[in-house]
Chains A and B, each alone.
Chain A
Amino acid sequence: MTLTDTIGAATADDAGTVAASGASAADEHRLSQLEALESEAIHIIREVVAEFERPVMLFSGGKDSVVMLHLAAKAFWPAPVPFPVLHVDTGHNFPEVLAFRDATVERLRLRLEVASVQDYLDDGRLRERADGTRNPLQTQPLLDAIAGHRFDAVFGGGRRDEEKARAKERVFSLRDEFGQWDPRNQRPELWNLYNGRHRPGEHVRVFPLSNWTELDVWRYIAAEDIALPELYYAHDRDVFDRDGMLLAVGPYSQPRNDAEAASVRSQTVRYRTVGDMSCTGAVESDARDVEAVIAEVAATRITERGATRADDRISEAAMEDRKKEGYF
């Protein structure tokens, strides 16, 4: 089922919806854990729309942004999602994810803005890194897009369980006129009274999924029957070994040496995160549907980023350093 199918056609007594699955909890006027997380996220999204002039939602077609957009659609239904979406395209994205992104945007009749890292490389504003990864290069196009469109609130799908620096970030996270995050000087965030006031030139990053874990996201995807790009489920793909990760053989990730070339084989894999092809690894998996993925995630011994993101392995504080500069 597609995102709009879910929003447009599902019935309330679908056994799968979060609301229905919490029926027993509702008897005693207590929300289940997923219901509480959904209500909190919808509250956050509505607050932003009410208090900011020009919000935008980051949307890559990755599972967290798909869930966040699904929540946005639910927050305003039967009115449309009242803001555009923004994708920072590294130029190294999986083609099937870009196709999914475009189809989703089309169905929800959203406006898509694309900030292209490739454009910056082509005209010399950015230079390719020696290691070939483009994730750190996304910061400048992102900040330019925010400034150019005068976006004052930027929704991101970041979760606090992902990474130690993210674990420190507020739901409403103020960025200065250079887009920088100052982790030592964050605003206190009290009750559910989110303070979005900022000076001209500053903006606020907002994370409605702050309190969700990877497992919560998958359980919600199952409960709401949310469609994802197929590469989140097990499929056969040509991969090779690099730094303990499985990278896809593709236009943006080729074996660099004999050892890598010798390791090329077809394997049954899936992706736990979806980003830049050149630094996002697949995991060995035979989880072909959402229930199998939930079982796999519940049993895994490696974090999502540890398993699949080369860029976070650079140093203990790689994410903190990128975030301070204005990264997601």
Chain B
Amino acid sequence: MSTPTLPAPVLPTGTLLRLATAGSVDDGKSTLVGRLLFDSKSVLADQLDAVERVSRDRGLETADLALLTDGLRAEREQGITIDVAYRYFATARRSFVLADCPGHVQYTRNTVTGASTADAVVLLIDARKGLLEQTRRHLAVVSLLRVPHVVVAVNKIDLVDYSRDRYEELAAQIRETARSLGVADVHTIPVSALVGDNVVERGEGTPWYDGPTLLELLEDLPTGDDPDTEAFRLPVQVVLRPQGAAPDERFRDYRGYAGQIASGVVRVGDEVVVLPSGRRTRVAGIDTADTLRAEDPFAGLPEAFAPQSVTLRLEDEIDVTRGDLVAAATAAPDLTQDVEGTVSWLSDRPLRPGARVLLKHTTRTVQAVVRDVVGRLDLDAAELVPAEQLDLNDIGRVTLRLASPVAAEEYVTSRRTGAFLLVDAQDGATLAAGMVGDALAAARHPEQRPAQYAI
């Protein structure tokens, strides 16, 4: 068996890009991930030894790089990926968190899991098979979740004799499908994960392709959202009041509201509104453990931005608790008890009107009743069709009535304050990934989608 030699390692610097991969069964996704890890020098000698040993035991001639990621017994036995596996690699320019998502249709919920936090999704298709229903489903999911960048790797290009015509044909289909589903930014690359063409190194079989390799593209994609274009939001996680347990006298009366900034930038002196009470005040200080340990413990930061974890001091003594939202007073969200949203249904039990569930939005959880199932997304037509209920893996539109108001915002403009979970109140199971507003509008009528939807 040929042992690929191990390349030299690199020390990560720079920013963090969160990636997710998706594809259909047997399209070689685990092999692609293995190739990305191996060629970017992220596989260590003992991991490679283990892969080679198992490959040899199975009578394979070359090391099966898929074994690097398929870690569970059942995955190895069945040769498929069951659950999201997280992998870490770095280049000289950037660090990556990669969520390797399973391809099988019954695990679509895991693709939703991987894509929800992703800055970019790498979607694989088999050059011989072309676009499958699963491909459309994955494109619909990344569109709904508003993943900023999509890269479609046209894999096994070596098995279609490196045909430029076949690649161009598929690339055109991908662009058309992505457009019809409202995917904003889509790139295509011809690759062979098995051979390594255009993954990290340029491929010899594709002289007609002059675009970047997959890794080059991933190193260049912008990360996340730009806080400067967003309104400030901070969901309160906990109230910090040390009282008698304070490390010294100066902190005995300290009262701060701790949370991770969901969007935007906040500066000391900014006017803010606390929801749902609607009380207005100003930011008196922005603290972290680092600033509170400084010589002047209350000097704080002049400003903070998403997604920093900070603690706010407010000028007025008002009642603020976990679940409240501190928002820019100049651009405060509306409160509502009636939420219309798009859900990706993740449970075996169908969703029907009248169901009582819990809705988890930012740091607030409220009771909810499903008023109506408006419809279900037909992936082929990219249209909403009437439906009585939603079944596992369906994407549909529902209306919900909440027991108390939340500051739900349109998901297309705010990923953090527009996202919600539906949770089973009895066993705690996560039933659905929800997005406030008519996220399907982008899929049905891309020309009508709000301007903010553009990346």
Contact = CB atoms under 8 A, between A and B. Distances in A.
A266 interface: no
A18 B82 CA distance: 36
Interface in A148-167: 160-161, 163-165, 167
A1 interface: no
A189 B86 contact: no
A30 interface: yes
Interface stretch (A111-119, A124-132, A136-144, A294-302): A294-302
Contacts of B15: 25, 30-33, 36
B308 A31 contact: yes
Interface stretch (B106-114, B148-156, B159-167): B106-114
A186 interface: yes
B76 interface: yes
Interface stretch (B132-140, B173-181, B203-211, B414-422): B414-422
A49 interface: yes
Interface string B289-317: 11111110101000001011100000000
Contacts of A32: 14-15
Given A36-B16, A50-B322, A188-B433, A165 B71 contact: yes
Interface in A179-203: 183-184, 186-193, 195-199
A262 interface: no
Interface string A30-69: 1111011111101100110110000000000000000000
A79 B292 CA distance: 11
A307 B46 contact: yes
Interface string B323-355: 000000000000000000000001000000000
A255 to B, nearest CB: 24
Given A29-B305, A302-B44, A188 B430 contact: yes
A8 interface: yes
Contacts of A317: 72-73, 76
Interface string B60-82: 00000000010111101000001
A263 interface: no
B5 to A, nearest CB: 11
Interface in B237-256: 237-238, 240-242, 245-247, 251, 254
What band does the interface of chain B fall in when counting residues whose beta carbon is under 8 Å from A? 35 or more
A178 interface: no
B398 interface: no
Contacts of A26: 305
Interface stretch (A208-216, A230-238, A273-281): A208-216
B251 A188 contact: no
B427 to A, nearest CB: 6
A11 B295 contact: yes
Contact of A306 (B9, B12, B47, B415): B47
Contacts of A73: 289
B258 A78 contact: no
Contacts of B240: 76-79
B289 to A, nearest CB: 4
A195 B423 contact: yes
Contact of A77 (B289, B346, B362): B289
B45 interface: yes
B180 to A, nearest CB: 25
A13 interface: yes
A76 B288 CA distance: 9
A50 B420 CA distance: 18
A298 B66 CA distance: 24
Contacts of B233: none
B260 A78 contact: no
A26 B307 CA distance: 12
Select the residue from B15, B237, B322 with max chain A CB neighbours within 10 A: B237
A292 interface: no
Nearest to A303: B44
B220 interface: no
B413 interface: no
Contacts of B416: 191-192
A29 B228 contact: yes
Contact of B45 (A10, A49, A301): A301
B216 to A, nearest CB: 19
A212 to B, nearest CB: 8
A11 B294 contact: yes
Contacts of B293: 7-12, 77
A204 to B, nearest CB: 9
B429 A17 contact: no
A152 to B, nearest CB: 12
B76 A187 contact: no
B259 A29 contact: no
B360 A19 contact: no
Given A11-B293, A75-B258, A193-B421, A188 B109 contact: yes
Nearest to A25: B15
Contacts of B9: 298-301
A210 B46 CA distance: 22
B69 to A, nearest CB: 8
Contacts of B113: 188-190
Given A80-B245, A191-B116, A302 B45 contact: yes
B227 A188 contact: no
A248 B308 CA distance: 43
Interface string B394-421: 0000000000000000000001100111
B85 interface: yes
Given A19-B288, A211-B97, A303-B47, A160 B433 contact: no
B289 A301 contact: no
Contact of B428 (A37, A80, A184, A195): A195
Contacts of B423: 195, 197
A320 interface: yes
Count chain B CB atoms within 10 A of each CB in A29, A186, A306 and give the residue with the most. A29
Contacts of B305: 26, 29
Pairs A-B, 8 closest by C-beta atoms: A164-B71, A197-B428, A306-B46, A12-B294, A74-B289, A78-B251, A77-B289, A79-B242
Interface of A: 7-13, 17-20, 25-26, 29-33, 35-40, 42-43, 46-47, 49-50, 73-80, 160-161, 163-165, 167-168, 174, 183-184, 186-193, 195-199, 210-211, 213, 215-216, 294, 298-303, 306-307, 316-317, 320
Given A30-B223, A42-B309, A188-B430, 9 more contacts: A33-B13, A160-B87, A184-B72, A184-B74, A188-B346, A190-B430, A193-B420, A199-B426, A211-B86
